Amino acid sequence: MLVPMKILIDHAMKHQYGVGAFNANNMEQIQAIMEAARETDSPVIIQASRGALQYSQFTFFKYLILAAEEAYPEIPFAVHLDHGNNLEAVKKAIDLGFTSVMIDGSLREDGKTVSSYEYNVQVTKSVVDYAHQYGVTVEGEIGTLGGLEDGVGSGEIHLTDPAEAKKFVAETGLDALAVAIGTSHGAYKFASTPILELGVVKEIKSLMPDLPLVMHGASSVPQELTDKINQYGGKMPGAKGVPTTSIREAINLGIAKINVDTDGRMAVTATIREIFHNHPEKFDPRDYLKPAREALKELVAARMKDFGASGHGREINNDGA
């Protein structure tokens, strides 16, 4: 059941759990995400970046989503544009049937240059005015994350100012707000013990208790996957991701949507590297894509349980979403 993302994040806020938002580029990833949602009875958000849509040639992604809706009618899910950079990108996603879009006005259109507050308000408001005509949920961002992922990121961390966030929401009318609390995109988030500024979440929720908040850069970068990738020929230096304990604490404070991309990439890559190393005679793509799909499904299912989403899919269906 394809629904506006607002239905999912509002339900998550009401019942104090987090909805996992998992990035996908191809059929196997979408199948893995939806299978995990079925296995755990969880609502879920499938995300696609602008790069992912270009990779899948836009129309293919549209019909993969329609196939997911047909194959998993009992799963409430949303399809979300991750880090849209302008109104035209948003329009394209809505034309493809996306039920939610993010406009990242914290950066200029190049996806790298930190913008001004005024620019962020202007571009976010234009997206809200357009998307709400179609019942599409809008996520915006105030503050910036570190790191770089899929060509997006300034490499600078600017923590969200709670008072500015309240003003931003009032001036734009958005539905969900991505906040900067010290996380980063990509695999290399923290060189040592991860520290998140969860007080920022707490203060924002005290000012806007009904607003769903979003955590970007929330992959945990499991050490076992880093080791496995390196064991079979990879070159990933050690790095620390966001501990699941910190994510659960953030959910308790008001985070309703948790973005995960890097962990999924690592699960797929580690599995394929192992197969190529142990079975160099293999040349049928099904021999490595099927196990990679299963590994991703297991990771996504584990994250859904970590976020407390298990069992809530049926609840949303019963509520008439």
**Is the pLDDT assigned to residue 280 strictly greater than 90?**
yes
34/11 Cα distance (integer angstroms): 19
104 flagged as catalytic: no
**Is the pLDDT assigned to residue 147 strictly greater than 70?**
no
Provide the 3-class DSSP secondary structure of residue 43.
coil
- Please give the C-alpha separations between residue 119 and each of 12, 19, 105, 124, 153, in angstroms, as whole numbers: 31, 29, 7, 8, 17
142/162 Cα distance (integer angstroms): 9
Q: 19 - beta bridge partners?
A: 257
Longest dimension (CA), the chain: 60
Name, in order, each residue with C-beta under 8 angstroms of 206's C-beta and a sequence gap of 6 or more: none
173-211 confidence digits (pLDDT tens): 999 999 999 887 666 565 566 678 999 999 999 999 999
222-243 confidence digits (pLDDT tens): 999 999 999 999 988 777 789 8
Q: Identify whether the C-beta of residue 139 lies closer than 8 Å to the C-beta of residue 82.
A: no
The predicted pLDDT at position 154 comes to 44
Q: Which residue has the tokens 């059941």?
A: 1
Name the superfamily (CATH) of residues 5-313.
Aldolase class I (3.20.20.70)
153-170 confidence digits (pLDDT tens): 445 678 899 999 999 999
| DSSP states of 238-298 | --B---HHHHHHHHHHTEEEEEE-HHHHHHHHHHHHHHHHH-TT---THHHHHHHHHHHHH
The catalytic position among 10, 41, 82, 263 is 82
95/219 Cα distance (integer angstroms): 29
- By the 10 Å C-beta count (0-12 exposed, 13-18 middle, 19+ buried), 47 is classed as buried
241, amino acid identity? G
Give Cα 23 to chain centroid, integer Å: 6
92-132 confidence digits (pLDDT tens): 999 999 999 999 999 888 877 889 999 999 999 999 999 99
Name, in order, each residue with C-beta under 8 angstroms of 235's C-beta and a sequence gap of 6 or more: none
Domain extent listing, the chain: 5-313
Q: Which residue has the tokens 């599995």?
A: 271
228/234 Cα distance (integer angstroms): 8
The predicted pLDDT at position 192 comes to 60
Handedness of CA 179, 185, 187, 193 (dihedral sign): negative
